[in-house]
Structure 1
Amino acid sequence: MTTIDLNMDIGIDEDDRREIADGLSRLLADTYTLYLKTHNYHWNVTGPMFRTLHLMFEEQYVELALAVDQIAERIRALGAVAPGSYREFAALSSVVEDDDRPDATEMIRRLVKGQESVVRTARSVFAVAERVSDEPTADLLTQRMQIHEKTAWMLRSLLA
């Protein structure tokens, strides 16, 4: 259970802030895990699509690096402590880590799954943010869903 600053009064009660912060912590863990996976693929991709994928994966991991900061800062704005260790991220993330070295096509498939996992996590937090009129969180979640859905579509297009 997330520790919440009890002295805050931003119009969202403690239990709701905790529920939102817990959901955002899962989103942060998913985003960071996907960042790490994407960066790994950027370094290790090979084959005829090398240049295209190398550059595409770089664009994606840079965007994810910026996103983790936004998500963590929203958690802090809600009065909670953001997770920040591999151990915490591993316990919270729904993005599957690799235990092998996939080829380029499999990298794309796995990144599609990772992007979709992040969308599902963001969507799962949206209902409570909307219910308690937490517009900043709802806006962040909407942006994250749009970016991840678009990225999944672009990656999926490479598999067609």
Structure 2
Amino acid sequence: MSNTNAIGLHEGSASDLATKLNELLANYQLFYMNVRGYHWNVKGPNFFELHEKFEEFYTDLLLKVDEVAERILTLGHKPVHAYSDYIELARIKEDKDTNDGEACVRGVVTGFQTLIELQREILSVASDADDEGTASQVGDYIREQEKTIWMLNAWLG
């Protein structure tokens, strides 16, 4: 009997990765809802600019939610799908009733920083497991999100 899964990764490593990816999935879901709330509730002189930018962000976050869940399935495991699990697993916390444009942007920066931190942890685990698929996926996310943080911090001044 083989100790590898359908894509040739050691079962123990795949299980460890799936656990970390489920944590990532939970964080993406919470962050998605926060950004969706910023989009709906932002007020102030930058409303039009931020309303549009937040829509761009949450649309991309929703795509990544699906990609992360599908990666968990590819590893032979089950993605969590209940909000109670998301709340329990996520480092990102709900951001309720935030409507000031600058506070919303700071919330986005903090959310992306949290995702990057977690994705770097996953990158390390994936590298140790010789899992190029997961490493490539989270590496792409990190690169994109680092640039977004730079741009948002430039906007904040």
The TM-score, its normalising length taken from structure 2, stands at: 0.93
Alignment partner of 1:74 is 2:71: yes
Where does structure 2 lack aligned partners over 5 or more consecutive residues?
Answer: none
Take 1:60 and 1:150, find their aligned partners in 2: how far apart are those partners? 13
| Displacement after TM superposition at 1:85 (Å) | 1.2
Equivalent residues in 2 for 1:20-99, closer than 5 Å? 20-99=17-96
Q: Quick one: which of 106, 114, 118 aligns to 2:115?
A: 118
Deviation per residue, 1:55-76 (Å, 9 max, x gap): 1001000000101000000000
Take 2:107 and 2:10, find their aligned partners in 1: how far apart are those partners? 38
Identity percentage of aligned residues: 36
Where does structure 1 lack aligned partners over 5 or more consecutive residues?
Answer: 1-5
Q: Quick one: which of 12, 15, 26 aligns to 2:12?
A: 15
| Displacement after TM superposition at 1:37 (Å) | 0.6
Take 1:95 and 1:148, find their aligned partners in 2: how far apart are those partners? 16
Deviation per residue, 1:48-97 (Å, 9 max, x gap): 00010001001000000101000000000001100111111111111121
Runs of 4+ in structure 1 over 4 Å off: none
**Alpha-carbon contact 1:8-1:79 (below 8 Å) kept:** yes
The TM-score, its normalising length taken from structure 1, stands at: 0.91
**Alpha-carbon contact 2:109-2:152 (below 8 Å) kept:** yes
Root-mean-square deviation (CA, aligned residues, Å) is 1.4
| Displacement after TM superposition at 1:25 (Å) | 0.7
Alignment partner of 1:128 is 2:125: yes
